Structure 1
Amino acid sequence: MTGTDVRKETEDPGPGGYAAARLRLLTEGARSGPPRRAALSGLTDDWLAGLFGAAAGAAHGVSLVAVGGYGRGELSPRSDLDLVLLHDGSDPGAVAALADRIWYPVWDLGLALDHSVRTPAEARKTAGEDLKVHLGLLDARHLAGDAGLTAGLRTAVLADWRNQAPKRLPELRELCAERAARQGELQYLLEPDLKEARGGLRDATALRAVAASWLADAPREGLADARRRLLDVRDALHLATGRATDRLALQEQDQVAAELGLLDADTLLRQVYEAARVIAYASDVTWREVGRVLRSRAVRPRLRTLARERGDFLRRAVAGEGRALGGGKPVTERSPLAEGVVEQDGEVVLARAARPERDPVLPLRAAAAAAQAGLPLSLHAVRRMAATARPLPTPWPAEARDQLVTLLGSGRPTIEVWEALEAEGLITRLLPDWERVRCRPQRNAVHVWTVDRHLIETAVRASEFARRVSRPDLLLVAALLHDIGKGWPGDHSVAGEIIAKDVAARIGFDRADVAVLSLLVRHHLLLIETATRRDLDDPATVRSVADAVGSQSTLELLHALTEADALATGPAAWSSWRGSLVADLVRRVRAVLAGDGADEPEPAAPTAEQERLAIEAYRTGGPVLALRAQTEPVTGEDPAGDPEPLGVELLIAVPDQPGVLPAVAGVLAVHRLTVRTAELRALRLPDDVDEGTVLLLNWRVAAEYGSLPQAARLRTDLVRALDGTLDVAGRLAERDAAYPRRRGWNAPPPRVTVAPAASHHATVIEVRAQDAPGLLYRIGMALEKAGVRVRSMHVSTLGSNAVDAFYVTTGAGAPLPAGDAASLAGVLEETLRG
């Protein structure tokens, strides 16, 4: 039975007729949805109009107006009736009597009523003083009486809203933020408030108010459906509980799901979370746009002043005079962040020359740049990439894998950037297995997040431990995948191991790394469960963990993953006591796994090209360079395609002399070349050539913005850097001043340690730090000032993390004394902190 049918059958305008018709509509009508809400609103309109007509007769200068949710026609079964009795002030006594004849029948039915009696002037004054009143009046809808009076109020209120938008919208934003802090985020709560929580119905109403201001508008895709879904759930909740509640309590979720025809409570929560995520993301984008518009309005007076100054300057120039104009950056200045990615007006956008359809790595590169800079991704940029970006080949190219690791290792800003990619479907395109954990609730009081958000939170926590492990890239990817098996039948660790193995291979890790990642996922609960449930004094306990882990490097990864996982779960999942138990277990397992100290790996014999370069460098007395592009074959979707670039291999041979490492690293930084991997070793020339020594540097580099310098230019600058005529430090400082990098998170501090017993012939200094332009130059300068000799080095950049090992000796070629080694590590760490 439709609402129209009910109204036709209801001839009694009194409370009894309305109540009977309302009951039939709610019990015999279709399931919750817009038609029933519209029918309930229409039925209520007719009844109230009848009450007004019977009480007011042919009176003029008075009208009955619906506002708020009722004004929008969004009546749920137990919704309040928000009403204003509007009058022109000519007969207050008659208006008061009229109000009683309308309000009392509503109360008699037990309906909640939010009412007021005001003149248009009083309504506008109250709206000016109370933001919530103003918001309600924006949805004013005429019910009965003088339609002109209602239309006049609507016009005036809307005009006031638009005129006062620069003041009211910041107030509204603050109101939304306070409510979110109080109620939490709807998309993660097990018992969410559908109205008040962030991403709920209040936020959807706020977006309507922003649009009404004409100052900005929300992304409309999916927004109406998200609002409708939350309203449908609230309707079902009212019917299930018989109360006017917006909180979806655990004990009522099965009944609400059944009312909506859904499979179970988990399906209900996933739909609620998806709707909330759409509204929350639209809110983020909209409030950023509001801020941008308000900032641009604020600078207009300054621009007008500059225009006047410019005109004055031109007049003075014609007259032979001159003076400086006022400074200030252009409003739309674009600062480069990465290849094809720039910052503009507080957002990360695509460069004008960027071509997503030709650059499949661009979405990950843009996301990593945004997270590293602590800036939001532009909605337009994300949508353009989602619509046109080419799929990544399988396996991914090395750059794509590096950019994913950089994104995951960027700390707290990763979350906002990840949500922007997910809102437009880019995450499930990159990682199809993500769809199964997206918005999946965790019915466990310990967990405070959905499965997908927990995985991202774990990566954020893991980024804080990047300095503790030798392979931060494996730690971050394991954090992302450790619960990927949830949603599959059986033990999620077992299912996750299989999925992680497939994902890791698709991302492009080699077999050894795939094995480590799948092991980490399979055993991500091993340490915490063993430490808290087993006897650590029993040798069999420790041996079983050692057998499962297999190596010390995997153990350190599992230890960091365990802590990151627990911290990302919730406050109840980790404590100093649990941490001490896990640390004790790790110490015991490490002792079992420990063997004799490894020695410095013997370098492979030099290739013919390396030997040729070394001989040429020795004979000419200067550096010799060779640039060679590195590629890997494309497999998967386009096996006939061009090879994927791995970067550029740069071979440098330099006669052994002081300052080679900082000179080479500094020149590469000046030319905006990012070092992916680097090795340095001393090469003895063949006896038939001479007894000299040449330093051989084998580097893999990539241009920061795409264009590689010529080898001749690199050699010229390297010669100048070695003879001291090139001020490398000054050039780097000038570059940093011209393009300051915003860091959106507090990266973990650098960590410099001495690896005991790692080599019998040298002291091994391990450096783990946030990668940055000139980092290797600063390390080289610090080692140079310390007067140590770099026997060899092994440098790698894993995402945004530099993981370097330097084998250093005294001038006589012996390992450093223990005290000197510790002092050097301390000085180097302090240098990098500065």
Structure 2
Amino acid sequence: MTSTDVTNEAEDSGPGGYAAARLRLLTEGARSGPPRRAALAALTDDWLAGLFAAGAGALRGVSLVAVGGYGRGELSPRSDLDLLLLHDGGDDKAVAALADRLWYPVWDLGLALDHSVRTPGEARKTAGEDLKVHLGLLDARHLAGDLGLTASLRTAVLADWRNQAPRRLPELRELCAERAERQGELQFLLEPDLKEARGGLRDATALRAVAASWLADAPREGLADARRRLLDVRDALHLATGRATDRLALQEQDQVAAELGLLDADTLLRQVYEAARVISYAGDVTWREVGRVLRARSVRPRLRALLAGGKPAPERSPLAEGVVEQDGEVVLARTARPERDPVLPLRAAAAAAQAGLPLSRYAVRRLAAGAGPLPTPWPAEAREQLVTLLGSGRPTVQVWEALEAEGLVTRLLPDWERVRCRPQRNAVHVWTVDRHLIETAVRAAGFARRVHRPDLLLVAALLHDIGKGWPGDHSVAGETIVRDVAARIGFDRADTAVLATLVRHHLLLVETATRRDLDDPVTVRTVAEAVGTEGTLELLHALTEADALATGPAAWSSWRGSLVADLVKRVSAVLAGDPPAEPEAGAPTAEQERLAVEAFRTGGPVLALRAQTEPPAAPAQTGDPAPTGGAAPPAAPEPLGVELLIAVPDQPGVLPAVAGVLAMHRLTVRTAELRSLPLPDGVDGTVLLLDWRVAAEYGSLPQAARLRADLVRALDGTLDIAARLAERDAAYPRRRGVAPPPPRVTGAPAASRLATVIEVRAQDAPGLLYRLGRALEAAGVRVRSAHASTLGSNAVDAFYVTGPEGARLPGEEAGDVARALEEALRG
């Protein structure tokens, strides 16, 4: 069916015919994209024009105008109809009656309508007061009635916009910035708002408005395609959900991808991110140009020089060979010859980042068009300029984005293409893979003074996740890739080996510190063997922290930092020749003895809560300069959590009871150690001593007396922990339509020679540790220690378990315990 056929059907059948023709149009998959949007706009135009003609009769001086997205012809299946009934101020009653004849049929069909009735003077006045109204009128399009009335309004509104541009454009820029702060960046969000987020459809409309002002223009390369792609995705989203929504939720991405004929949701997100990146970069360039033009208009010396007959030349300050600063941007010198200087792109980028200035779009385009390939291996200067660029801190980001916009990054590092715009479906990560790598380099630049080889740290930061573009373990794939890349950019064999080790083991320290017993000599020896040298350990420590800080707020904390630092200290001692001491059951502290005696005397649990803190790091450790202007007051110790000591007469069910009570009181367990203390001479039995590290999910810690009272009830069976936790679990937020991955329980036979290590990976939920404790109790094993780690919605818990006599479990029995835990979690 052609658009003419659809229009004729609508005209022949009235509102019912329009609805049928609209439905037919939206279900024709072959008409998706711009053709369907244009056909839907044309169909709606003709229907509204018919309503206008039927309602207006002999009325003159009235016109119907489409504004905003409808004015641009960008009608998605569930888009609002933005309409203005324009009149010359004549017969108000007749105009009101006509408005009713127009609006009610639209409402009757269930279509969203944004409408207004104004004279040209009222429309211009409202536009002058409301920037959003003015933007909508810039796209005004005549539908029916007095064409001259519409044309005169369009002319006046456009003239007002151009005359008021020096005032309105800064207002528009502030509006865009506020929206970006509120909605985030489209190119990084897992559930982006296609319209409101930075780099979305509203920003694309703002760039059209800037162009209409004649004050500046946006880069046009790829902009129309980026806008079209986002509109196509919104169309598919409307059809998939049946709602007027711009948010691309996780549970709808597979269906939207299928509607667009894409392979999967990751392919969909990557296309959305690429489109958003084009629009965001165009916005950055355009708003810089607007600022430059407005500044130039306000500089009176330029005007005086022009009146005197001279034309002032823009000042150019040299930054590096072939690179100068001009008017707040980094540009190429007049004598620069990119075709003869293959290092020039990296030199210009490094100079821009060091100066904290944007790299001119025209300079980047000239470099992309003229610079030749670097030889293999790179010359030393190229490698040094790359390190300088990466070590410049926050300004590196905008310079890197400029290089990416013209394809220079993938020309320098071909492996970058596989991680470019690649989404990370993990709520802990706030960036795409490529942006995370740059953010890690930015964080690593802050640690450059605390390592002996900052160049290796920065390059490892840039490449540590490069393997995520390949199947399998990204650390293993990354090791292979980085060996090739490091040799190509000119590192020798020894440095290449260090970089490969850093990439292969960039998760080793944090995973070991949070999931293994640091008192177990096998733990420390395993890390020492993997790292190899103290110099590599120093680099890996800095890379670990930079990587975590660049991941997101949930990936790093004082607690994790203290555990990693403790592990590094122990491994460093081993690498220096001091073997790790064998753990011994040392004598209990005075505090532990007091609690044990009290538990024996009362026959019930005894608790003690104690906050843990660590002193702040000295400025020299971070590489920051010392503060000036007088001595700064000493910083307060940073909280690491709370130590909870519990002594209770040995009895079945202690571990799940304690875990359940802590979950009821919204306490997160980080580590748990259990040991038995003998009772005084002449008394049979033992006292269990539990040393837990906990943190409050939010709010303040509960009182020890309340915890003890609930623990007493849990141990004597009068407190139904399972029922209480089930109530919380029912209210625990879950994403509609998104099933978590199944739990996975595995053994780590070589992780300890003192106990069997069982590692649990599961969806975090209230009472998870309680359920695991019950399963371990049912399996008849003893828990020496537990190490809990949570990243976003994923929990990774490691249990050091033994048989009743304190020996490691045989392999078959360890497998049975792992299967029992997995079945308990699935149930």
The reply to whether residue 284 of structure 1 matches residue 290 of structure 2 is no
What is residue 574 of structure 2 aligned with on the other side? 592
Question: Given the alignment of the two structures, is residue 556 of structure 1 paired with residue 549 of structure 2, yes or no?
Answer: no
Structure 1 counterpart of 2:690: none
Q: Mark the CA change 1:51 to 1:307 in structure 2 (over 3 Å): closer, same or farther.
A: closer
Say yes or no: does 1:144 pair with 2:144: yes
State yes or no: 1:409 paired with 2:391: yes
Name the structure 2 match of 1:8: 8
Query: Does the CA contact (< 8 Å) of 2:9 and 2:18 recur in 1?
Result: no
1:200: how far off? 0.1
Question: Shift of residue 13 of structure 1?
Answer: 5.3
Structure 1 Cα separation of the partners of residues 175 and 393 of structure 2: 27
Partner of 2:704: none
CA distance in 2 between counterparts of 1:11 and 1:176 reads 41
Write the distance in 1 (CA, Å) between the matches of 2:286 and 2:88.
38
1:3, CA displacement in angstroms? Answer: 2.6
User: Tell me, what secondary structure is at the counterpart of 2:338?
Assistant: coil
When residues 749 and 392 of structure 1 are mapped into structure 2, their CA distance, relative to the original with a 3 A threshold, is farther
**Structure 1 residue 92 displacement after superposition:** 1.0
Aligned to 1:303: 302
Q: Paired residue for 2:815?
A: none
Provide the aligned length of Structure 1 versus Structure 2: 587
- Superposed counterparts of 1:22-37, under 5 Å: 22-37=22-37
Residues 2 and 29, structure 1, Cα contact 8 Å, conserved in 2: no
Residue 445 of structure 1 and its aligned partner are, at CA, apart by 1.0
1:177 Cα deviation after fit:
0.2
TM-score normalised to structure 2 length: 0.70
Amino acid at match of 1:338: A
Give matches, 1:326-475, under 5 Å. 332-475=314-457
In structure 2, the partner of 1:63 is 63
1:488 aligns with 2:478: no
Give the % identical residues: 88
| Alignment-derived partner of residue 574 in structure 1 | 556
Deviations 1:48-75 (A, max 9, x none): 0000000112322000000000000000
CA contact (8 A) 1:29 1:36 kept: no
The residue correspondences of 1:77-156 to structure 2 (distance < 5 A) are 77-156=77-156
Structure 2: distance between partners of 1:141 and 1:556: 65
Measured in 2, the distance between the counterparts of 1:485 and 1:336 equals 39
Equivalent residue of 1:161, what SS? Answer: helix
Matched position secondary structure for 2:12: coil
Measured after TM superposition, the shift of residue 307 of structure 1 is 6.4
Cα distance per residue 1:623-651 (max 9 Å; x no partner): xxxxxxxxxxxxxxxxxxxxxxxxxxxxx
* Separation in 1, partners of 2:344, 2:619: 29
Return 5+ residue gaps in structure 2 as ranges.
579-616, 626-827
How far apart, in 1, do the equivalents of 2:38 and 2:331 lie? 42
Distance 1:260 1:575 in 2: 41
Aligned residue number for residue 204 of structure 1: 204
- State the partner residue of 1:235: 235
Instruction: Give the aligned residue type for 1:84.
Output: L
- State the one-letter code of the partner of 1:538: D
Distance 1:553-1:181 versus aligned 2 partners, 3 A rule: same
- Higher mean C-alpha deviation, range 230-239 or range 544-553: 544-553
Larger relative contact order, structure 1 or 2 (CA cutoff 8 Å, min sep 6): 1
Aligned partner of 1:646 in structure 2 is none
Unaligned runs of 5+ in 1: 315-328, 597-747, 754-767, 771-834
Q: Aligned with 2:354: secondary structure?
A: helix
* Partner SS state of residue 64, structure 2: strand
1:522 Cα deviation from its structure 2 partner: 0.3
Of 227-236 and 586-595, deviating more is 586-595
1:523-562 pair list within 5 angstroms: 523-562=505-544
Aligned partner of 2:215 in structure 1 is 215
8 Å CA contact 1:461, 1:567 repeated in 2 = yes
Please report how far the alpha carbon of residue 305 of structure 1 lies from its aligned counterpart in structure 2 after TM superposition: 4.0
**C-alpha displacement at 1:263, in angstroms?**
0.3
2:275 maps to: 275
Shift of 1:91: 1.0
Secondary structure, counterpart of 1:335 in structure 2: strand
Distance change (3 Å), C-alpha of 1:294 and 1:331: farther
**2:169 equivalent in structure 1:** 169
Please tell me whether residue 21 in structure 1 is matched to residue 38 in structure 2: no
Aligned counterparts, 1:181-200, within 5 A: 181-200=181-200
1:475-527 per-residue CA deviation (whole Å, 9 max, x = no partner) reads 00000000000021110000000000000000100000000001100000010
TM-superposed deviation, 1:294: 0.4
**What letter matches 2:490 in structure 1?**
G
Q: Distance in 2 between matches of 1:305 and 1:211?
A: 29
User: What is residue 178 of structure 2 aligned with on the other side?
Assistant: 178
Maintained 8 Å contact 1:331/1:345 = no
Look up the match of 1:730. none
- Calculate the aligned-residue CA RMSD, in Å: 1.9
The Cα of 1:435 is off from its aligned counterpart by 0.2
The amino acid of 2:46's aligned partner reads D
Shift of 1:749: 11
Distance 2:464 2:344 in 1: 26
Q: SS where residue 417 of structure 2 aligns?
A: helix
Are 2:244 and 1:244 aligned? Answer: yes
Distance 1:589 1:219 in 2: 53
Aligned equivalents of 1:115 and 1:589: distance in 2?
70
Paired residues of 1:31 and 1:259 also in contact (CA < 8 A): no
Distance (Å, rounded) in 2 between the aligned partners of 1:250 and 1:78: 20
**In 2, distance between residues paired with 1:361 and 1:249?**
43
Instruction: State how far apart, in whole Å, the 2-side matches of 1:303 and 1:431 are.
Output: 44
SS at match of 1:170: helix
| Cα contact 1:481–1:521 (8 A) shared by 2 | yes
Q: Deviations over 1:594-615 (max 9, x none)?
A: 159xxxxxxxxxxxxxxxxxxx
Opposite residue 36 of structure 1, the aligned amino acid is R
| Distance of 2:49 and 2:312 partners within structure 1 | 57
Q: Which amino acid aligns with 2:177?
A: A
- What is the one-letter code of the residue matched to 1:428? T
**Aligned 8 A contact 1:62 1:87 in 2:** yes
Partners of 1:339 and 1:208 lie apart in 2 by: 37
| SS of the residue 1:115 aligns to | strand
Residue 14 of structure 1: CA displacement? Answer: 2.5
1:32 offset after TM fit, Å? 2.5
Contact 1:10 1:18 in 2 (8 A): yes
**Maintained 8 Å contact 2:450/2:621:** no
Letter paired with 2:291: G
Distance 1:367 1:155, change over 3 A: same
User: Whole-Å Cα distance in 2 between the matches of residues 283 and 217 of structure 1?
Assistant: 10
TM-score (norm 1): 0.69
2:86 partner SS: strand
Q: Does 1:522 align with 2:521?
A: no
What do the CA deviations read for 1:140-169 (whole angstroms, capped 9, x no partner)?
000000000000000000000000000000
Give a deviation string over 1:775-799, Cα, whole Å, max 9, x none: xxxxxxxxxxxxxxxxxxxxxxxxx
Which SS does the other structure have where 1:172 is aligned?
A: helix
TM-aligned CA deviation for residue 30 of structure 1 = 1.9
Residue by residue, what CA displacement relative to the aligned partner does 1:634-678 show, whole Å, maximum 9, x if unpaired?
Answer: xxxxxxxxxxxxxxxxxxxxxxxxxxxxxxxxxxxxxxxxxxxxx
- Give deviations 1:345-404, integer Å, cap 9, x for gaps: 000000000000000000000000000000000000000000010100000000000000
Deviation at 1:5, TM superposition (A): 2.2
Instruction: Tell me how far apart the structure 2 counterparts of residues 185 and 237 of structure 1 sit (CA, whole Å).
Output: 19
The one-letter code sitting in structure 2 at the alignment partner of 1:371 is A
Aligned to 1:14, what secondary structure does the other structure show?
A: helix
In 1, the alpha carbon distance for the partners of 2:44 and 2:112 equals 13
Residue 130 of structure 1: CA displacement?
A: 0.3
8 Å Cα contact 1:13/1:47 also seen in 2: no
